[in-house]
Structure 1
Amino acid sequence: MDLYNRMTDLRHHLSNFKSRIYLTDASDGTRCKIFPTTLTNTAMKWFDNLPPRSVTCFDDLARGFLTQFFIQKDKIKHVPSLLGVKQEVGESLGDYMKRFIKVCLGIQNLPTEAVIMGLVNSLRKGPFSQSISKRHPTSLYKVQEQIEKYINMEETVQLREHAPRQHNQHQA
């Protein structure tokens, strides 16, 4: 069974857990003890911070889980959240793309057009934003090819900028 990491549907996770655990005919207490093993990161922190004796049965635990993460789920899983991801001044294209992709992974049923539009509109002005704006890409494969090209160019420029400094330091 996959671990719950806030990127998957919490109701599906709970339903999947119940189906599997009921097949084993586990007691209510055992279900309460096993359920946390299906959680990661924030969900596990939530469980660890439950007050002692606040869970008297598995239904209490399930209700608490749904209540806690249903609220957070709505905050991070919509296309408009892409609008808040902007490339910062001085941020490399590679670092920006890591942040952008992380947000994209948190959005269910994200249309390709929204990814492309969000990416094009969130880049700071520069060679890559000018290039991608002119070509109006229609596939993520084409976008990925362009991104890799420009990331490689940025890395090459950085290496060249650092190489003379390191060479001069060795001579001194």
Structure 2
Amino acid sequence: MDFYDGTTDPKHHLSNFKSRMYLADTSDATRCKAFQTTLIKAPMKWFDNLPHRSVTSFDNLSRKFLMRFSIQKDKVKHALSLLGVKQEVREPLRDYMERFNKECLEIQDLPTETVIMGLINGLREGPFS
């Protein structure tokens, strides 16, 4: 499991941690103690500075963690963001398609028509546009 350094979405980290703890069938106290081993840098400082006996359960710790680091949550992407994906000068079609597909995967409920429109819109002038 990757360490959490405070620069990515805390929900993803927490979800990953909970999944692993569920598989190990750990107690609430063990989850609270084990959670700190997944933190580094600012999140570790935050954890170390929690007031003594301020955490009453893992759910309580989870809420505190999410409140503190929620500013790092992933930004929701919309279909219109595909219009910003353009094939660069001298960029091979394969590389453009790979970047375009990665963008598409980050957008939920993306209509096929929008994908086609965005793909065509982003192609530079040439035999494929």
Coarse TM-score class (shorter-chain normalised): 0.5 to 0.7
**Residue 31 of structure 1, aligned match among 35, 39, 45:** 35
- Tell me if the contact between 1:82 and 1:104 (Cα under 8 Å) persists in the aligned partners: yes
Cα shift at 1:13: 6.8
**Residue 46 of structure 2, aligned match among 49, 54, 78:** 54
Counterpart Cα distance in 2 of 1:128 and 1:17: 45
Counterpart Cα distance in 1 of 2:128 and 2:98: 16
- Tell me if the contact between 2:11 and 2:66 (Cα under 8 Å) persists in the aligned partners: no
Cα shift at 1:117: 0.8
Counterpart Cα distance in 1 of 2:35 and 2:98: 37
Counterpart Cα distance in 2 of 1:92 and 1:66: 38
More helix by share: 1
Normalising by the residue count of structure 2, what TM-score does the alignment of the two structures yield? 0.63
Structure 1 pair 15–98 and aligned structure 2 pair: CA distance change class (3 A): closer
- Tell me if the contact between 2:36 and 2:44 (Cα under 8 Å) persists in the aligned partners: no
- Structure 1: tracts of 5 or more residues without a match: 1-8, 37-46, 130-172
Counterpart Cα distance in 2 of 1:53 and 1:82: 38
- Structure 2: tracts of 5 or more residues without a match: 1-8, 56-60
Moved segments of 4+, more than 6 Å: none
Letter in 2 for 1:30: A
- Tell me if the contact between 1:79 and 1:110 (Cα under 8 Å) persists in the aligned partners: yes
Cα shift at 1:18: 4.3
RMSD over equivalenced CA pairs, Å: 3.2
**Residue 67 of structure 1, aligned match among 71, 76, 83:** 71
Aligned length: 107
